[in-house]
Amino acid sequence: FLRFTEVQSPGLGTGPCGEECPREVQQMIVTEGAVFYNLVQEFNRNLTCAVIFEFARIQLGAKGIQIKVPGEKDTQKVVVDSLKQEEEKAELKESENLASEDQPRTAAVREICEEGLHVLEGLAASSLCSIRFAVEVPGLRSVVANDASARAVDLIRRHVQLNDMAHLVQPSQVDARMLMYQHQRVSERFDVIHLEPCGSPGPFTDAAVQAVSEGELLCVTCTDMAVLAGNSGETVTANTVPLPSRMALRILLHSLNLCANRYQRFVVPLANFYVRVFVRVFAGQPKVKPSASKQALVFQCVGCGAFHLQRLGRASGVPQRPGQVLCSLCSPRDPECEHYGQRHQLGCSMWAEPIHDLDFVGCVLEAVRTNPSRFHTSGRIRRVLSVITEELPDMPLYCTLDQQSSTIRCNMPSLLSLRSALLHAHFRVSLSQAGKKAVKTDAPASALCNIMRCWKKECPVKRERRLLRNKRKEAHRAALLKTFPCKSFKEGTCQRGDQCCYSRSPPTPGVSADAATDCPETSSYSPPGPGAAARPGIP
């Protein structure tokens, strides 16, 4: 369990003479673990710890160092690096290290590992994440908890003392960008950089891609979801506007890759959850050149939502020059959608390649599955990672079931029905972790529209619903009229009886009888004369 200080706002109190004066700041110790200090961020931070843990296992495993975590089975795990170009190098190093020593070295939590990871939390605030990294992730050399606020750094120092982590966590008070710019030398770079700003990470990405070591981990969170989802597209960049709701993660990856390309570096996505990405940053001019072929513009129909990707570059296909990228062959789109006749809108540049390293995601999933008591949100983490492993990796965007139903103007089918129809039509289909109703498929827009039209034909919208809706409106109007007393009944001239649309009860106090309108049904009747026979059913 971790211990943190909770600071309550001072507020105002009453002084000895009756005047208002500020109260003293009240502090209390909160234990994280038994009750999570920030329930909203519990899943996010648990998943971050799991990802960094598996990354440390891979990196230290290549050096012949095994890591141990309390609660995990004491069995040797075989770690396979997802990048094929590093497999032979890792196996060679591991064999040399094991040959030089009789027993493999181990790294445990709360202990310094001289060959371990050098971690930076650039915007640490109260240092909650930094302390959790030091307590839960083995194989760390040091953790720098940095913040520009003097008050935050004071809390960091106190939390380090409360949790006995002074040997691992180093408080720092400086602008995060300046700190990362000061660690551009290869020997001073960080192995893991964790950025979780309150808003856009744009001001920090340029410094971050330079301060992270070769092939190491960069964790970036974006909290301005409304901007990336297209609600305020003009604030993303001066020249590009995102399409609604589908491109947030890919815009963030595109931005990180552009920053890295300026310094002959490139990013490789490992995993993403919500608007949080985990990428590895590599250097190498030959591999930076194909970056244009990884980016694409998006054309989307404003009516049906069908989209088309236009790559910014293409591989030359010449075996002698594998890294050569040529200008993309333009495939002009018609001004109007061929299916619905609506116009196309142009979205911004985005990352068009796969956004998950399935081997790495599988390692994280297996680690969480074998030790479910490690996190309170282990069940949710397993569900999200399981969906990710089943996603179609080569399909960048997805469609939503409710949007397709709204376009066709039909009842929304079940996900099982739509997936079955696509599979029977010999198309690939999968769910997406982006939403409960999100579907990824390689079916063209024409096939998807035909399937939805067939569904509408077999399950049309029932007309009885509209009639029932009109009856409800009439019943509501009748109930409203019953709140007014019948003026003719008060005068003794109303002959409608119980069929009168107004109330025949005594007038409600405070409601003037003159304000009530004469019953429209009594306009065709005249008062009965003397000796006139009473009509059947009418008193």
Domains of the chain, CATH where assigned: 398-458 (3.30.56.70)
- Torsion angle, CA of 518/520/522/524, rounded to 10 degrees? 130
Please report, for residues 147, 310, 356, 429, the alpha-carbon distance to residue 386 in angstroms, rounded to integers and kept in the order given: 36, 30, 12, 15
CA distance 128 to 171: 12
* N-terminal to C-terminal alpha carbon distance within the chain: 81
- CB-based contact 208:183 (threshold 8 Å): no
In 3D space, the residue among 445, 440, 365 whose CA is nearest the CA of residue 400 turns out to be 440
Question: Which pairs count as long-range contacts for 517-522, CB under 8 Å and 24+ apart, including other chains?
Answer: 517/484, 517/487, 518/487, 518/488, 519/486, 519/487, 519/488, 519/489, 519/494, 521/496, 522/488, 522/493, 522/494, 522/495, 522/496
Are the C-beta atoms of residues 395 and 354 closer than 8 Å to each other? no
CA–CA distance from 240 to each of 235, 259, 312, 346 (Å)? Answer: 9, 16, 15, 9
Q: How buried is residue 291: exposed, middle or buried, by Cβ count under 10 Å (0-12/13-18/19+)?
A: buried
Q: Walk along the chain (539 residues) and give the pLDDT tens digit of each residue.
A: 566 665 544 444 434 344 444 444 456 676 665 455 666 678 888 889 999 999 999 999 999 898 877 666 643 343 344 444 455 555 655 655 544 455 678 898 889 999 999 999 999 988 888 999 999 999 999 999 999 999 999 999 999 998 899 999 999 999 999 999 999 999 999 999 999 888 788 889 999 999 999 999 999 988 765 556 555 544 444 334 445 446 778 888 888 999 999 999 999 998 654 578 899 999 888 788 888 888 888 888 877 777 878 888 877 766 666 667 777 766 656 677 777 677 777 777 888 889 899 999 999 999 999 888 888 889 989 999 999 999 998 888 888 888 888 888 888 899 999 999 999 999 999 998 888 888 999 998 889 889 998 998 888 876 555 556 666 777 777 777 777 788 787 788 888 877 787 887 765 454 444 444 444 444 443 444 444 333 333 33
